[in-house]
Amino acid sequence: MTEPTGSRRQRAARRAGEFPPLPEPLPSPVLDSHTHLDITVSEAGVPGGGPADDPVAAAVAVAAGVGVDRLVQVGVDVGSSRWSADTADRYPAVLATVALHPNEAPRLADLDEALREIEALAARDRVRGIGETGMDFFRTGDEGRAAQEESFRAHIAIAKRYGKALVIHDREAHAEVLRILDDEGAPDTVVLHCFSGDAEFAAECARRGYLLSFAGTVTFASAGALREAAALTPIDQILVETDAPYLTPMPHRGRPNASYLIPLTVRSLAATTGADLDQLCAAVSATGDRVFGPW
């Protein structure tokens, strides 16, 4: 979950604005590897104008209509992690990850108790990842970094104990994230959510076998360095996400985001990487199944 600078203004725009129109469907299905359905429906409403009595079903249906047939719902604290796990149990197209967001860890009165609750959720079958966890030097200052690191190390251990993917939030903390992964020993599967590094960092992550998940930021005019990173990432190490309701891809930046807008990011990545659109869809889909599946 990454809110860019000016997030207060953008939250207001999401509340007041309408969801963008449906994009052209993809030629073959892909997944949204990282979304926050709970925040989307509470802040922005029902994607696609579906039935308000079941906004999750509406979001799933409108996404499937454009070729986004699987969603990974991501927890950021105990409450949203529990909601994510319960939602994955109810909807066959949804899987879950659970964690304490790195900016959440320093705020907790009892970090150990919260981690115990996350570990209990990690044991559930349709919870397939531990995240988003990691380090964030943008929103948390020096006083909170020890708690972030303690929490991150604990999440790494949980991911390894349960054999689940580790989904990392890394904001302005690239070197520290790699250092801690090296100290602890990385799990078999590591996903850099909303990848924000440059080409050098992308090459290092790819060398280690990590997955790089690209969000709508890769479509922004200012994101040349991010496109350079995507261009050198092996196609079988690429995932695509919305981080909805945040980071809406161009040309709809500032409006509410939802999983059905994934085709805009996929098409941008195809142009950036030079991959055939069908080839990219197939690779992203296969990687998603390998990391999180079976659905």
- Binding residue positions: 34, 36, 132, 169, 193, 243
Looking at 138-276, list the stretches that DSSP marks H as alpha helix, in order from N- to C-terminal side. 142-162, 174-184, 199-207, 224-232, 262-273
CB 283 within 8 A of CB 235: yes
Annotated binding site for a divalent metal cation: 34, 36, 132, 169, 193, 243
**DSSP reduced 3-state for 87:** helix
Q: How many angstroms separate the Cα of 61 from the Cα of each of 56, 71, 93, 164?
A: 9, 11, 10, 27
Cα separation, 92 vs 60, in Å, equals 10
CB 129 within 8 A of CB 166: yes
Angle among Cα 20, 40, 83 to the nearest 5 degrees reads 155
The structure tokens 């100290």 sit at 183
Pairing of strands 190-192, 211-214: parallel
Distance of CA 279 to the CA centre of its chain: 22
Cα separation, 255 vs 46, in Å, equals 13
What are residue 238's DSSP bridge partners? 212
Cα separation, 67 vs 2, in Å, equals 25
Helix and strand totals (H; E) in the chain: 11, 8
Cα separation, 30 vs 32, in Å, equals 7
Cα separation, 72 vs 131, in Å, equals 11
